[in-house]
Amino acid sequence: MSILDESSLETFEERGSRLLVSHAKTDHDQNHLPVWFNLEKFCRIKPLVNQYFFSIFFTHLSGLLILIFVRSIYQTLSLTGKSKNLSATFYRYLHTCLHVKKWYEGKIWIKNDDAYESLQMVKTMHQTVSNIQNKGKNDGENVMAISIRDMTLTQFAFAGLFVLYPHKYGFSTKKEDIETMIYFWSVIGYMLGIDDDYNLFIGDYETIRQRCHRILDQYFRPSLLAYERDSVQMADQIIQSTNQFIPGLRYKSYMKFIWKSLAMDKEWPSKPLNREQQFWYFAKKMIIEKFYYFWAVRFALNQLLRFTLFTMQFSFLQRLKTNQLAHIDQQIQ
């Protein structure tokens, strides 16, 4: 039984917060694949991503927004300095999208493939930050930055909402499609150093659903209800910067959408939305929950996001966007 299957997550918290992920899997093949890797199952993700491209990245962004309300995650992100302003935040989350896109579309099992190299780059970045922020600490004794607990919570941020609320985010509600997403992120989790005992997505469908419910109830709901001001500020920056390549994002309307999708016990702790914010909230809700299931709407939104991410790979466009955001940063200061 996984440590995540205990009725209380106290052991997961106590041990997982003090353990670092394994950044180099040396006990298996040279490509760092798990012994349980199944290429046929893994490749089922590609047609699914083609069909739900916009929904998938919208869900990833939603998960990352709730992730930064977890205190340990916020502290790690803030200390890197890569979210200190809109320009830096734009670079961070644009490149996060581009990395994940490579993982979905590439061949992570082949050394030197772009997707494989992208994963190695992310692992190296994690290890660099971990080495800096954990200097003087002892693995297994002190609470660590980028701990294995934090990586498990990050797994939830990327894929937990597909498991619990696929209908709220425009994703397929078919069990086999959700299982395909689960399997993909179980492999990614392994390749990023998460031990099997802490890997949220190893197990049968119902077991994983129960784990996700526990993670949501014991970590994400309390963190969102605390509604820390500095996490709010970072979430606002992420939405403003991401709006450069996913248009129509507004902080209050987006956070209310997430809040409602999670069926939070309390009302969203913010001032009522004005008319413009209400418009964006209801537009988002109708498009994602209703219209996206129509083929023409899904095709249009998928292609629009694909085109936007393609153009954002050009350095001159990135410079243009960062200059615009730098101007906004100056006005805020």
* pLDDT tens track, the chain, 333 positions: 688 887 678 889 999 999 888 764 444 445 578 999 999 999 999 999 999 999 999 999 999 999 999 999 999 988 877 777 888 888 889 999 999 999 999 999 998 899 999 999 999 989 888 888 888 888 777 888 899 999 999 999 999 999 999 999 999 999 999 999 999 999 999 999 999 999 999 999 999 999 999 999 999 999 999 999 999 999 999 999 998 888 788 999 999 999 999 988 888 777 888 999 999 999 999 999 999 999 999 999 999 999 999 999 888 888 888 888 877 777 765
Q: What is the pLDDT of residue 174?
A: 97
309-313 long-range contacts (CB < 8 A, ≥24 apart) are 309/97, 309/98, 309/101, 309/245, 312/94, 312/98, 312/244, 312/245, 313/98
Q: What is the DSSP letter of 148?
A: H
| Count of the separate structural domains present in the chain | 1
What the block records as the tokens of 231 is 């996490």
Q: Distances from the Cα of 63 to the Cαs of 51, 57, 254, in angstroms?
A: 20, 10, 12
pLDDT number for residue 178:
98
Closest residue by Cα to residue 199 from 163, 161, 153, 152? 152
pLDDT at position 36 is: 95
* pLDDT given at position 80: 78
Furthest CA-CA distance within the chain: 57
- Residue whose structure tokens are 């340990």: 72
**DSSP string computed for 267-321:** --SSPPP-HHHHHHHHHHHHHHHTGGGSHHHHHHHHHHHHHHHHHTTSHHHHHHH
CA 210 to chain centre: 19
Query: If we measure between CA atoms, which residue out of 116, 17, 100 comes closest to residue 64?
Result: 100
Position 29 scores a pLDDT of 46
Q: What is the pLDDT of residue 25?
A: 47
**Residue 263 backbone zone (phi > 0: left; psi -120 to 50: alpha; other: beta):** left
Closest listed residue to residue 76, CA positions, set 214, 216, 234: 234
pLDDT at 61: 96
Least Cα distance to 108 among 57, 183, 22, 158 occurs for 183
Residue 164 belongs to what domain range? 3-332
* Cβ neighbours, 10 Å, residue 229: 7
User: How far is CA 24 from each of CA 20, 29, 97, rounded to the nearest angstrom?
Assistant: 12, 11, 24
